[in-house]
Structure 1
Amino acid sequence: MSQAISLHGLYYYFEKRVVSLPLIAVHAEGSIKDFVAQVKLTQTYSNDATVPIEAKYSFPIPARATVCSFVMIKQDGTRVVGSVQEKQEAREAYNAAVSHGQQASLMEQQTPDVFQVSVGNIPSNEQVQIELAYATELAEDEENDSIRFHLPVHIGARYGTPPQSAPSPFSSTAFISSSSKTPFLNIAMSVEAIAPISKIGCPSHTVSTELGPDPKLPNFTELPFSNYARVSLSSDSALDKDFVLTIKSVGLDTPRCIAEPHPTRDTVALGLTLVPRFKLPDLSRQEFVFLVDRSGSMRRKRIEAAKKALIVMLRALPHQESLFQIASFGDYITFLWNDGSKPYNQETLEAATRHVDGMDADYGGTDIQYALEQCFRARKRDRPMSLLVLTDGDAWDLDRVLSAVKSAVVGTPANAFLRVSVLGIGNSASTAMCEGIARLGNGTCMMVGEEETSFTGKIARMLRATRTPPISNISVDWGRAAAKEEMVATSDEDEFEIVDETNEKRALNIFDETDDPIEVDSTLAPQPPPVVLPPPPAVQQAPFKLEKLFPTIRLHVYAILQGKAIPETVVIRGSTANGAEIELPIGVTLSRLQTAPGAPPAVHALAAREIIQDLEDGRHALVATLANSDDNDLLARTVKASVVRLGKTYSISSSHTSFVAVAESMHTLPPTSMHYSAPPQAHSPGSRGATSQSASPYGVRSGSSAAPAVHARDYQPSAISTAAGSRGVESAAPFPREGGGTRSLAPEEPKQSQADGQDFAASPPSKWKTSRSAPQPQAVRGAPVEDESSANALEALARLQSFDGCFSLEVLGIIKLATDIQTVRNMFPVGATDRIVATVVALAFLSMKLGAFLDRDSWEGIYDKAQQYVEAALQNMAMTETVDMLETKVAGMLA
């Protein structure tokens, strides 16, 4: 296997050589408001060849994002704005323009998170800019009231054959680069929160952070200072890993619904989000399977972090009537137990622990489709199954991977349903694949960055979701059918209603802090006529059907309503298998997002993308509208027509729509006569059969379509990168430190640099002092900050927990007491065993010591299990003391 070839910028292939176009500048500008971010990417290239050329490159965006604006800017400043057309029509328009010597550009979706741009007839010795904008929703981060922004810069190594074929690899000596200046990168992000920002972190890079609104805003002096921030990064070197930004602010998890009237169309888009916080009894009799990627790319930090997370998660499994299994995959798949999942007990837990300790990243490539199919085939059929996938890979044939998941999930009986959740690890994991598997698997998806060496908290959150009983019949009342007076919600009663077996209602908080078909009118003919769609329905919702609602997992729901009327309230309703009925009214507010010039409104674009995703997934009611429900060809054409209409209406790129920009010029260039030969594929180490994808969004990818012109090398560059090193920042305002005391720094500079995260005081100053060495992270308002020693202590403690949740006095090898063990025993009721004493000591240590440094999600599973053990033991002994009472006593005796 050959090494991935690292190339930079834009390429074309000429006379058996790959020739690069100098990347002059890259600028990423973003705005974060509510739960949505808008991003504008501008890349400037120069053609230093002596002839006009046509070049191609590929770039990634998050799978949950949608490209909604595309502009080609000529050297004379002329802006050629792209329009959305049906995919084949756009390609034909582009090819026709290039053949006539016109300058043109085309942007096409290759996968939901990979787009290709073609730029034709770039004049000799001239520059060209490609400017595109996309909107993306934000995911929750590790802590409560925190969100995560992700700017991908890599297209990872992908298993299988890319969409466009290429001949066999050849030596990297065949590649040459034209002389070029060092790429120059600027990233500028503005953040606006609904409450004071308490923390901004950048776990991927060293950035400059400035608190307060942009002085350029017209009402700058009237805006709340601490609700705004600006983050910037400037570098002369290539960005070698994804850019990640985290924001923490009170209220980010609260239920919210924003409304966005369209400026030119008679529609309103609504975006609803919340992070549910409720607790239901664990789902009983379930099978848990951990599917772990052990391909070569998982080596070193990734596999070690996965092993630590597994050690803790194995202790968090329900100990009654659970089956479990560990599968490892790469080029092939193996199971811990070849004869199927085993009952969860002390013997099998110890065997699984030994197996995890022996894991290494030595399974070659990443054939995830085969691994998933084998897990589905081996599952038990008498109970629900939860499959948790840990992977850093991807597959080009995304449709087949997702089809395997969909086929396995569809048709499973209610008492033996299937859930598939995914933890995507590092730059190479595709958001399209990971989120697609979880979406069709009715599970959850979380992503961890390249530099995040511990993800126990995230996988714990996924595991908690798998233990939650399904909530069915979930629906959203968007206010179109009911009268306005029937939808009035009180601000302090955001509660669910549960009906128990006695028919007596009780309240269940899901947040403790505060079907519409697209009909078709088409007839069959020997030559299929174009599908004629009726006007859109009054309400278009995405997801089409809400299949899941999990605690601590952010829920996003969108709708496009016909008409300008904005509902005052929307209502979520549903029920559980045990008869619980839920109802949550949420007030509607106007969106504060400003539409970028030339781009469609962001919430409309995101809603349209989600509706398109449902159509592509087959989640729609179109088949019921067909004259012949068995006509699969008609159904496919109806789905395509619906996707095209949405793409054109809301100006977004999709699987069936593309952006094309053609310059109208009196002076056309002679069409280029040089011919393109498809460039080679290369393979990355540890990824057998995977095309090389070590790249940035500002570069190109292996595999291109052959076309009669000079084309870019469709290869993965690593186009932009930040310099190594980090700076720490200390707030000028005093705040408590661990162990007492405060720190206070005089303000010096208006900006700060940071490597991982900065906690801001409640009343931050307008200036910050920059420190040359990074201080230890400080907690804000009780928020935990994870460190490696605490994560190691958690793993060591987890190894000592028995399958039923109890501990022995071996915990005293990890937990230090301020007194002797006999004094601690004397605080317990007569008859309390050593296991009860040790388990309470472990509970106190988790909540009082590790809880100050680790996110609760990472240790809550083993804590809850230990607490249940002590509760049951005290009840059997008829003791009046409670677990909380004993834990409070012991907490005061910890060293």
Structure 2
Amino acid sequence: MNCCGLLTANKEPVPLKSVVVELQVRDHVATVVSTLNYENKEDKPLEAVFVFPLPGDAAVCHFSATIGQTQIVAEVKEKQEAREEYDDALSSGQQAFLLEESEQSPDIFSLSVGSLPPGESASIRLEYVTELAVQADDGLRFCLPAVLNPRYQPQASEGASVQVTSVPASLVPYSLSFSARVSSPRPVSKVESNCSLDPLQYLNTEQTQATVKLATGHKFDRDVEVLIYYKDAHQPTAVVEAGQASAKPGSLMGDPVVMLSLYPEFPQAVMSSVASCGEFVLLLDRSGSMDCSMNSKSDQTRIGSARDTLLLLLKSLPMGCYFNIYSFGSSYEHIFLKSVEYSQKTMEEALKKVERMGADLGGTEILKPLQHIYSQPCIPNQPRQVFVFTDGEVENTKKVINLVKKNSGSHRCFSFGIGEGASSALINGLAKEGGGHAQFITGADRMQPKVMQSLRFALQPVVVDISVTWDLPKGVSVTVLSSPITALFQGQRSLVYAQLSGKSSKAAEGCVTVKYSLAGHPSQNQLHFSLTPAQDTGLTVHRLAARTLIRSLEMEERESRREQDGGVKKKVVELSVQSGVSSVFTAFIAVNKGDGEAIKGPLVRRNVPTPGMVHHYSHARRQRSMATATFGSGGSSGGPSFDGNRSFACGRKQSGYMLTADTFGDGGRDDDFLSGARSARRSQQCSYMLTETGSNIFASDRSFCSFQSRPVKQPPTDPLLQLVSLQKASGCWVLDPALAAALGKTSEEVESTKPASVNQEVWATILALIWLHGFKMDAQEEWELLAMKAASWLRAQNAPCVTECVEAGNALLGCNVRKDALGL
């Protein structure tokens, strides 16, 4: 399968030669221009179809094609009309180009390049604008999705599935080049990426402008993630942008639009208190794709990292709260019939079950477990917090987000996208509509600090009674385009878009006030801003505002569809056409109506592959033995076994074909068992293909595949997780040989140095805290909450000689940690 030249996995030539991406970041808004260069090297005319991901909240605002010296700029039209125009153009021998958003998920687009004659080249230019999300460490995150994982379509779901052709990164037959230019009123302190970058180049002495680009030789095995850090990032800002001169005054594009970035600051006294109540519902993806590695250099699987994270989460929950753990694939399970009070007994019961969780539940049907969670009555005075962990390979994204929005009054939803190719539309949509916070774990990221950051948000007092009021000069009125703010967190940005109508003097100023109540304390933040429009913004703010309004109306349309009301859809189409921003009901269409001759001959369709996730298996293991298994034509979900060690389970019926695998009997890691498979094109009945590429195995729809093996020897436990696993629900540790081992000491050393007047649990807990502060400060975000719980438990004991204990503990462990640093 290591083919040469421009070939797909089916050995068909691919007309896409290269992708060039230019990113321009202004403060926290990004404009992205992608140029896709096509060339038909075949002897017949082609139609190239490329299904690819974009950020879920992107506003696609320009699409054009250049053939030779001719440039054709696409128009936005109602989707069915655009499709018919495209088909008509192809049938009459004209060249045409169609760009449309998937009806299932707003982060997947399909680009059709029609009637590319033999020997002809075409260059497609695609432009979109997007806001950059604020990360827990104040970095602004831009992600260029390169990996498009096949999306799992639930059984009996409506609508056609998105047809994705994907291959391993090593077989992607086109190149990617990526460059970025960053400018901001504040200095750019650094730019980081999960991919190799050339050094950052500053363009001025103030360091407010900089450029950076991907190092040469970038492989398509991951999304390109860029993190941008500014000095003094948390400054509220307002940008007023002038309307389009050619647009009608009073319309969205004709009037000025303001974009407010608000960073509410909460009183420190309130923020230092952590809630001791809440119902925490943890929802874990156990589909087959969770068996993939976290990244190409990691041995740890997504499901393994999720298990470690649940251990930390469960240890960090406050006494007095309630919790439950759901897991899902094609079906779903829950540990308790309903949420239970958090105690040593319930925590231990949950952890035992978490330890046994594998990526063995098949597909990715997230809707049903969410419906079950929302059907459970809320517990009085215990605010519900739902944590969703998924690699996001679902197809009914809009249905899931709609369900969360419908139940937004009863809970907050925190979402975590795991691994390359997680759906940004799903992860961001869950958090936005659920009033929570979204995090993405990609590349070498550790899941634990990001999840613990979200737990800190969940334990913050809930902000209520949020209102935004405007104070504008006489003659100027405001129409707010954004949905009302429903969630505020310390350090997190809230964006508000509004249309300004009427006239004001040049020096006029506006003021916006955000009022809210936090733990019974009424608070407010004010922002004064000039009404003079900013220059050279390229209608970016207008397009982002239009996108915000379009998404809101689309959600409304899904509600009104049940009432057979087409009015909302009509509004979306009008707004999309007027603003030139894509929507689910419209598409970009460009037709080359030049005087060239009609293109003759039957049109051949070529699907352009995207990079898909590769599951890595080690090749060099000893005690090799070959095993083969044949699937019978009537087989279904059960699979044959390989020497009793390994089975390959399949979620669809297939016609018979042979799968060959290397198996190893040396008790190595699960990922080491299967190192090669012969590729085979499935019959129409099966929707995926396995491909062997050197020592990698790639399944084009891994959602339907799950690999299972006999229990194997576990890798050594992380010392931090080893210590954390020994903590009791109350926050204390017990003095026993396991704790001594985790501290790197013998039982005798630990027991003989204990001050005589102190009980064993107090001594054990102080030792654990000293070890955390002395050796694991680099991972403080991960253990901070459980250490606070331990310190709180110690204070409640009123133990004598705490100072003596800290001194003795420092001497034993070779540390120099002060008592006040431990919270004592």
- TM-score, normalised on structure 2? 0.74
Listed as ranges, the gaps of 5+ residues in structure 2 are 246-253, 292-299, 615-647, 655-680, 682-686, 692-714, 811-815
Residue in structure 2 matched with residue 806 of structure 1 by the alignment: 732
Q: Secondary structure at the match of 1:244?
A: strand
Cα distance in 2 for partners of 1:880, 1:94 equals: 79
Residue in structure 2 matched with residue 124 of structure 1 by the alignment: 118
Cα distance in 2 for partners of 1:690, 1:276 equals: 57
Match of 1:657 among 558, 575, 586: 586
Residue in structure 2 matched with residue 239 of structure 1 by the alignment: 220
CA contact (8 A) 2:328 2:366 kept: yes
CA 1:232–1:831: 2 relative to 1, 3 Å:
same
Residue in structure 2 matched with residue 766 of structure 1 by the alignment: none
Cα distance in 2 for partners of 1:436, 1:8 equals: 39
CA 1:368–1:883: 2 relative to 1, 3 Å:
farther
The 10-residue stretch of structure 1 (38-47 or 464-473) with the greater mean CA deviation from structure 2? 464-473
Cα distance in 1 for partners of 2:502, 2:235 equals: 28
CA contact (8 A) 1:94 1:105 kept: yes
Residue in structure 1 matched with residue 697 of structure 2 by the alignment: none
Match of 1:792 among 702, 709, 718: 718
Indicate whether 1:309 and 2:301 are aligned: no
Amino acid of the structure 2 residue aligned with 1:241: R
CA contact (8 A) 2:475 2:503 kept: no
CA contact (8 A) 1:545 1:619 kept: no
The 10-residue stretch of structure 1 (675-684 or 579-588) with the greater mean CA deviation from structure 2? 675-684
Spell out, residue by residue over 1:536-559, the C-alpha distance to the aligned partner (whole angstroms, 9 max, x if none): x831331x1211112344433333
CA contact (8 A) 1:168 1:680 kept: no
Where in structure 2 are the equivalents of 1:85-234 lying within 5 Å? Answer: 85-110=77-102, 111-143=105-137, 145-160=138-153, 165=160, 183-203=174-194, 205-213=195-203, 223-233=204-214
CA contact (8 A) 1:45 1:129 kept: yes
Cα distance in 2 for partners of 1:687, 1:431 equals: 27
Residue in structure 2 matched with residue 270 of structure 1 by the alignment: 259
CA 1:350–1:266: 2 relative to 1, 3 Å:
same
Residue in structure 2 matched with residue 557 of structure 1 by the alignment: 496
CA contact (8 A) 2:150 2:164 kept: no
Spell out, residue by residue over 1:403-445, the C-alpha distance to the aligned partner (whole angstroms, 9 max, x if none): 43344446xxxxxx22222111112321112222223323222
- TM-score, normalised on structure 1? 0.68
Cα distance in 2 for partners of 1:891, 1:228 equals: 42
CA 1:860–1:237: 2 relative to 1, 3 Å:
closer
Cα distance in 2 for partners of 1:892, 1:465 equals: 23
Cα distance in 1 for partners of 2:487, 2:524 equals: 15
CA contact (8 A) 2:322 2:342 kept: yes
Cα distance in 1 for partners of 2:5, 2:375 equals: 44
Q: Secondary structure at the match of 1:370?
A: helix
The 10-residue stretch of structure 1 (277-286 or 671-680) with the greater mean CA deviation from structure 2? 671-680
CA 1:794–1:51: 2 relative to 1, 3 Å:
same
CA 1:797–1:467: 2 relative to 1, 3 Å:
same
Shift of 1:44: 0.4
Cα distance in 2 for partners of 1:883, 1:304 equals: 35
Q: Secondary structure at the match of 1:107?
A: strand
Spell out, residue by residue over 1:578-621, the C-alpha distance to the aligned partner (whole angstroms, 9 max, x if none): 532121113447898954xxxx522221222112222222399x
Listed as ranges, the gaps of 5+ residues in structure 1 are 214-222, 411-416, 485-536, 624-629, 692-701, 703-713, 719-788
CA 1:230–1:824: 2 relative to 1, 3 Å:
farther
Residue in structure 2 matched with residue 581 of structure 1 by the alignment: 522
Cα distance in 2 for partners of 1:881, 1:585 equals: 50
Indicate whether 1:47 and 2:46 are aligned: no
Q: Secondary structure at the match of 2:481?
A: strand
Cα distance in 2 for partners of 1:246, 1:836 equals: 42
Amino acid of the structure 2 residue aligned with 1:371: P
Match of 1:362 among 360, 363, 368: 360
Cα distance in 1 for partners of 2:208, 2:265 equals: 24
Cα distance in 2 for partners of 1:255, 1:791 equals: 44
Shift of 1:341: 2.4
Q: Secondary structure at the match of 1:290?
A: strand
Match of 1:638 among 567, 572, 596: 567
Where in structure 2 are the equivalents of 1:370-389 lying within 5 Å? Answer: 370-378=368-376, 380-382=378-380, 383-389=382-388
Where in structure 2 are the equivalents of 1:7-86 lying within 5 Å? Answer: 19-74=12-67, 76-86=68-78
Spell out, residue by residue over 1:298-325, the C-alpha distance to the aligned partner (whole angstroms, 9 max, x if none): 11521121112111111111112x1211
CA contact (8 A) 2:47 2:605 kept: no
May I ask how many residue pairs the two structures share in their alignment? 692
Where in structure 2 are the equivalents of 1:810-849 lying within 5 Å? Answer: 813-815=741-743, 833-847=759-773, 849=775
Residue in structure 2 matched with residue 525 of structure 1 by the alignment: none
Amino acid of the structure 2 residue aligned with 1:188: S
Indicate whether 1:572 and 2:508 are aligned: no
Cα distance in 1 for partners of 2:485, 2:5 equals: 43
Residue in structure 2 matched with residue 747 of structure 1 by the alignment: none
Cα distance in 2 for partners of 1:560, 1:330 equals: 44
Residue in structure 2 matched with residue 512 of structure 1 by the alignment: none
- TM-align CA RMSD: 4.6
Residue in structure 2 matched with residue 602 of structure 1 by the alignment: 540
CA 1:157–1:6: 2 relative to 1, 3 Å:
farther
Amino acid of the structure 2 residue aligned with 1:545: P
Cα distance in 2 for partners of 1:259, 1:193 equals: 16
Cα distance in 1 for partners of 2:219, 2:690 equals: 9
Residue in structure 2 matched with residue 331 of structure 1 by the alignment: 330
Shift of 1:260: 2.7
Q: Secondary structure at the match of 1:20?
A: coil
Cα distance in 1 for partners of 2:608, 2:51 equals: 14
Residue in structure 1 matched with residue 454 of structure 2 by the alignment: 462
CA 1:564–1:81: 2 relative to 1, 3 Å:
farther
Shift of 1:33: 2.4
Shift of 1:351: 2.2
Where in structure 2 are the equivalents of 1:774-785 lying within 5 Å? Answer: none
Cα distance in 2 for partners of 1:664, 1:882 equals: 85
Shift of 1:133: 1.0
Cα distance in 2 for partners of 1:29, 1:228 equals: 15
Residue in structure 2 matched with residue 422 of structure 1 by the alignment: 415
Indicate whether 1:546 and 2:485 are aligned: yes
Shift of 1:631: 9.8
CA 1:284–1:225: 2 relative to 1, 3 Å:
closer
Where in structure 2 are the equivalents of 1:344-363 lying within 5 Å? Answer: 344-363=342-361
Q: Secondary structure at the match of 1:252?
A: coil
Spell out, residue by residue over 1:435-485, the C-alpha distance to the aligned partner (whole angstroms, 9 max, x if none): 222233232221111x2352111111222222234322322234437899x
Cα distance in 1 for partners of 2:140, 2:730 equals: 35
Identity of aligned residues (%): 29
Spell out, residue by residue over 1:482-505, the C-alpha distance to the aligned partner (whole angstroms, 9 max, x if none): 899xxxxxxxxxxxxxxxxxxxxx
Where in structure 2 are the equivalents of 1:336-735 lying within 5 Å? Answer: 336-337=335-336, 339-378=337-376, 380-382=378-380, 383-409=382-408, 417-449=410-442, 451-452=443-444, 454-480=446-472, 538-542=478-482, 544-563=483-502, 567-576=509-518, 578-588=519-529, 595=537, 601-618=539-556, 632-634=563-565, 637-670=566-599, 673-674=602-603, 688=651
Shift of 1:22: 3.0
CA 1:195–1:832: 2 relative to 1, 3 Å:
farther
Shift of 1:809: 4.5
CA 1:715–1:558: 2 relative to 1, 3 Å:
farther
Cα distance in 1 for partners of 2:724, 2:86 equals: 60
CA contact (8 A) 1:294 1:303 kept: yes
Amino acid of the structure 2 residue aligned with 1:67: V
Cα distance in 1 for partners of 2:223, 2:392 equals: 15
Cα distance in 2 for partners of 1:194, 1:860 equals: 34
Amino acid of the structure 1 residue aligned with 2:181: S
